[in-house]
Structure 1
Amino acid sequence: MGTVVLYPSPGMGHLISMVELGKLITKHHPSISIIVLTLIPSFNTGTTASYVRHISATFPAITFHHLPDIPLDPLLFPSMEAIIFELIRSSNPNVSNALESISLSSNITAFVMDMFCTPAMSMAISFNVPGYYFFTSGACCLAQLLYFPTLHKTTTQSFKDMNTLINSPGLPPIPSSDIVGPLLDRTSTDYSAFLEIIEQFPTAAGIIINTFEALEPRAIKAITDGVCVPDRPTPPIYCVGPLVALGGGGSHECLSWLDLQPSGSVVYLCFGSLGVFSRDQLREIAKGLEKSGVRFLWVVRSPPSNRKEDRFLPTPEPDLDELLPEGFIDRTKDRGLVVKKWAPQVDVLRHKSIGGFVTHCGWNSVLEAVSFGVPMLAWPLYAEQRFNKVILRDELKLALAMEESRRAGW
Structure 2
Amino acid sequence: MMEKADICHIVMYPSPGRGHLMSLVELAQSLLRRHPSLAITVLISSPPHLLPSIIPYLSSVSSATPSIAFRHLPPSPSPSLSSAPTAFSDDPAMYFEYARLNNPNLYHDLSELLSDSQPSQKPKALVVDFFYSVAAEVAAALRLPTYYFLPAGANPLAAFLYLPTLHKLTTSSFKDLDGNVDIPGVPPIPAKHMPSRMLDRSSRIYGHFLETSTRLAESAGLISNTFEALEPRALKAISEGLCVPDGRTPPVYCIGPLVAADDHISKHECLIWLDSQPSQSVLFMSFGSMGVFSSKQLREIAHALEKSGVRFLWVVRYPPPHDEMWRNLAIKPEDDPGIDEILPSGFTERTKDRGLVLKSWAPQVAVLSHDSVGGFLSHCGWNSVMEAVFAGVPMIVWPLYAEQKLNRAYLAWDLKLVLAVAESEGGFVTTDELAERVSELMLSEKGREVRGRAAEMRNEARQALSEGGSSRVAMAKLVDSFKKGMM
TM-score interval (norm. to shorter): over 0.9
- In the TM superposition, what is the alpha-carbon distance from 1:78 to its structure 2 partner? 10
- Sequence identity (%): 52
1:88 aligns to what? 99
Q: Deviations over 1:349-408 (max 9, x none)?
A: 011111111101111001000001111111111111121121211233221111111247
2:44 to 35, 38, 53: 38
3-state secondary structure, aligned to 1:44: helix
**Structure 1 length as normaliser, TM-score?**
0.94
- Read off the aligned partner of 2:109 and give its amino acid letter: A
Contact 1:301 1:315 in 2 (8 A): no
1:231 to 246, 265, 278: 246
Contact 1:265 1:295 in 2 (8 A): yes
Q: How many residues are matched?
A: 404
Q: Deviations over 1:36-75 (max 9, x none)?
A: 1112223333332232222122211112111222232547
Question: Is structure 2 residue 82 aligned with structure 1 residue 63?
Answer: no
Spell out the pairing of 1:19-30 with structure 2 (5 A cutoff): 19-30=25-36
Spell out the pairing of 1:239-258 with structure 2 (5 A cutoff): 239-247=254-262, 250-258=266-274
3-state secondary structure, aligned to 1:10: coil
* C-alpha spacing 1:332/1:78, structure 2 compared with 1 (3 Å): closer
Contact 2:96 2:133 in 1 (8 A): no
- In the TM superposition, what is the alpha-carbon distance from 1:290 to its structure 2 partner? 1.2
Spell out the pairing of 1:6-405 with structure 2 (5 A cutoff): 6-70=12-76, 71-73=79-81, 74=84, 79-105=90-116, 106-247=121-262, 250-306=266-322, 319-405=338-424
The 10-residue stretch of structure 1 (257-266 or 39-48) with the greater mean CA deviation from structure 2:
39-48
- Read off the aligned partner of 1:18 and give its amino acid letter: L
- In the TM superposition, what is the alpha-carbon distance from 1:25 to its structure 2 partner? 1.9
Contact 2:239 2:249 in 1 (8 A): yes
3-state secondary structure, aligned to 1:333: coil
Unaligned 5+ runs, structure 1: 308-313
- Read off the aligned partner of 1:72 and give its amino acid letter: S
Contact 2:147 2:222 in 1 (8 A): yes
Distance 1:384 1:119 in 2: 21
- Read off the aligned partner of 2:110 and give its amino acid letter: L
Contact 1:304 1:315 in 2 (8 A): no
Question: Is structure 2 residue 18 aligned with structure 1 residue 2?
Answer: no
Distance 1:253 1:77 in 2: 31
Contact 1:16 1:245 in 2 (8 A): no
3-state secondary structure, aligned to 1:43: helix
3-state secondary structure, aligned to 1:45: helix
**Structure 2 length as normaliser, TM-score?**
0.79
2:463 aligns to what? none
Distance 1:76 1:51 in 2: 22
Per residue, is there more helix in 1 or in 2? 2
- In the TM superposition, what is the alpha-carbon distance from 1:262 to its structure 2 partner? 0.7
* C-alpha spacing 1:316/1:272, structure 2 compared with 1 (3 Å): farther
Contact 2:16 2:50 in 1 (8 A): no
3-state secondary structure, aligned to 1:298: strand
- In the TM superposition, what is the alpha-carbon distance from 1:286 to its structure 2 partner? 0.9
- In the TM superposition, what is the alpha-carbon distance from 1:103 to its structure 2 partner? 2.5
- Read off the aligned partner of 2:123 and give its amino acid letter: I
Contact 2:225 2:258 in 1 (8 A): yes
Distance 1:81 1:27 in 2: 32
Distance 1:239 1:408 in 2: 32
The 10-residue stretch of structure 1 (77-86 or 170-179) with the greater mean CA deviation from structure 2:
77-86
The 10-residue stretch of structure 1 (314-323 or 5-14) with the greater mean CA deviation from structure 2:
314-323
- Read off the aligned partner of 1:360 and give its amino acid letter: H
Contact 2:263 2:363 in 1 (8 A): no
